[in-house]
Amino acid sequence: MQAARKTLETSAWEILEQIPDPEIPVLSIVDLGIVRSVEVDGTKVTVGVAPTYSGCPATEFIEDSVVKSLQSGGITQVSIRRVLSPPWTSDWISDRGRQKLRKYGIAPPEKGAVARGRLLGDPMATERIVACPRCGSENTEKVSEFGSTACKASYKCIECLEPFEYFKCI
């Protein structure tokens, strides 16, 4: 019984690791750090999912794809639990996720910025060094704090002249 439960949990995680984030498909939802838990009760699996931003339009889509993917992987009884606490921050993105982001051309968020209380400190402290994900230069400029999705800002590299996106710290 113990072994069977373990297997179900492991295979659920394996499936979840394959589910791409709909807005940044290079990241899986596990890399993004929004899958908080997988609980197994007999044949029933409950997945704890934390939304990124309150208004992230992908939240329902993600929950739906979790249910569908697990079901097509043979896990029929699936339910979703929305987890608010502790709230998701960009610090939840895994190291592997950060590497994937950089490779994809999105500068990953500065690690630990949130944990260090950056957001609760001086609200004016906005400037930070963001390295270009293409050439690595730190000679970059913020174009806009807002970008194609709620979680990204727009930057450009002064060295290689490429525009790029930066996954914001929140």
Partner 1 sequence: MSKDQALIAYVTRMGDNAIVMAQRLSEWVGHGPELEEEMAMSNFALDYVGQARMFFSYAGELDGKRRSEDDICFLRDGWDYGNVLLVEQPNGDFGETIARLVLFETFYSLQLEALATSPATKLAEIAARAIKESTYHLRHASNWLIRLGDGTDESHRRVQNAIDRLWTYTAELFEADPVDQIMQSEWQGPDLTVLREHWHRQIDELLAKATLQKPEDGWMDSGGKGGHHSEHLGYILAEMQSMQRTYPGANW
What string of DSSP letters covers 53-64?
STT-TTHHHHHH
Q: Identify the CA nearest to 114 among candidates 103, 100, 125.
A: 125
Contact flag: residue 61 with partner 1 (CB under 8 A) = no
For the bound state, the minimum distance from the C-beta of residue 62 to partner 1, rounded and expressed in Å, comes to 14
Applying CB under 8 A, the span of 22-30, 78-86, 93-101, 131-139 interacting with partner 1 comes to 78-86
Binders of partner 1 in range 102-131 (CB under 8 A): 119-120, 123-124, 126
DSSP 34: -
Distance of alpha carbon 122 from its chain centroid, rounded? 25
- Distance between CA 66 and CA 46 in Å, rounded? 10
How, if at all, do strands 163-167 and 106-107 pair?
A: parallel
Asked if 72 contacts 18 with a C-beta cutoff of 8 angstroms, the reply is no
For the bound state, the minimum distance from the C-beta of residue 4 to partner 1, rounded and expressed in Å, comes to 33
State which of residues 2, 3, 54, 74 lies at the interface with partner 1 (CB under 8 A): 54
State which of residues 30, 34, 89, 164 lies at the interface with partner 1 (CB under 8 A): 89
**CB nearer partner 1, residue 2 or residue 54:** 54
- Distance between CA 29 and CA 66 in Å, rounded? 9
State which of residues 3, 55, 74, 117 lies at the interface with partner 1 (CB under 8 A): 55
For the bound state, the minimum distance from the C-beta of residue 18 to partner 1, rounded and expressed in Å, comes to 27
**Total residues at the site for partner 1 (CB under 8 A)?**
25
Q: Which stretch of DSSP H or E encloses residue 141?
A: strand 140-144
State which of residues 39, 95, 145, 159 lies at the interface with partner 1 (CB under 8 A): 145
Q: Identify the CA nearest to 75 among candidates 19, 3, 9.
A: 9
Residues that bind partner 1 (CB under 8 A): 51, 53-57, 84-87, 89, 119-120, 123-124, 126, 143-147, 150, 154, 168, 170
